Amino acid sequence: MCGRITIAEVEELVEPGELNPNDVHTPGVYVQRVVALTPEQAADKRIEKRTVR
């Protein structure tokens, strides 16, 4: 089962056109919500690591 809403947690917001479309992992058409982190939140963010066998 998949989710109905995609939330992008971002460290920095940029203006449209500033990024190369080939560098984007999740196209904006699939993102419904954007949560901008403060510098403190971004520094404290733990990176999730997925391990598979």
| C-alpha–C-alpha distance, residues 31 and 35, integer Å | 11
pLDDT score at 23:
84
Domain boundaries, the chain: 7-44
pLDDT score at 11:
86
Provide the mean pLDDT of the chain. Answer: 82
- pTM, to two decimals: 0.56
